[in-house]
Amino acid sequence: MDQPRAVLFDAYGTLFDVYSVGLLAEQLFPGQGQALSVLWRDKQIEYTRLVTTSNDGAHYQPFWELTRAGLRYACKRLGLQLTAEREQQLMNEYRHLSAFPENREVLQELRAREVTTGILSNGDPQMLGVAVRSAGLEGLLDHVLSVDTVRKYKTHPDAYRLGTQATKKTAGQILFVSCNAWDALGATWFGYRTLWVNRYQLPFEELGPQPTRIGTTLRDVLAFFDSQYQEL
């Protein structure tokens, strides 16, 4: 197949480690940090689906607010006392999530090869702006696309369509990269070529086609562009 002409990355879970909040959560709630970070993330994504599918998106709320709601629910579910101070600490930590170490290297290589790059994320514009700056990725992305403009979260096709509209390329010319299996599947259904970055050695979804390729780090993106990288 021809090389892709653009690469779009999911943000949360793919470029930015959503479970890095577990370190602070463990300090605030000893013995519960990992459980809180996992349940928080699961509820956050559940809420995106709930507001997208209910009344054709009439109950849409920005990702930041769904993230806060997910945190509050998770703490109640686990019986943790979430004071206003602790909530502020955890939300601020989420705003500045740790970036995966290979991000900058891969984006620099794509930039050197004159490949169009971007983020296509559920995150709202302010969240994404802070995350990109905190990770030092400014200048390495041609597009930072938020579903906030269509008020529908992935995996709604209108969310994925933002990528073809922004790049002026067909879905088949675009490589979509996600660490989230459900996201990789949704993008595959939409028509993107897909790379699922399986960082945690999980099974893929059982509902549809496999992604174009499966990797373990973002470096596997480079295998789409040059035989030099086939061994990565």
User: Which residue, among 205, 175, 199, has the nearest Cα to 187 in the 3D structure?
Assistant: 175
Residues that are catalytic: 10
CA distance 28 to 174: 42
Give the SS3 label for residue 179: coil
Return the closest-CA partner of residue 122 out of 53, 192, 181, 47.
Answer: 47
Which of 100, 134, 124 minimizes the C-alpha distance to 19?
Answer: 100
Q: Residue-wise over 23-37: b if at least 16 C-beta within 10 A, else e? A: ebbbebbeebbebbb
Residue 7 host element (H or E): strand 6-9
H or E element that contains 108: helix 103-112
For residue 207, give both structure tokens. Answer: 């509902």
Q: Please report the DSSP string for 111-180 in residue order.
A: HHTT-EEEEEESS-HHHHHHHHHHTT-TTS-SEEEEGGGTT--TTSHHHHHHHHHHHT--GGGEEEEES-
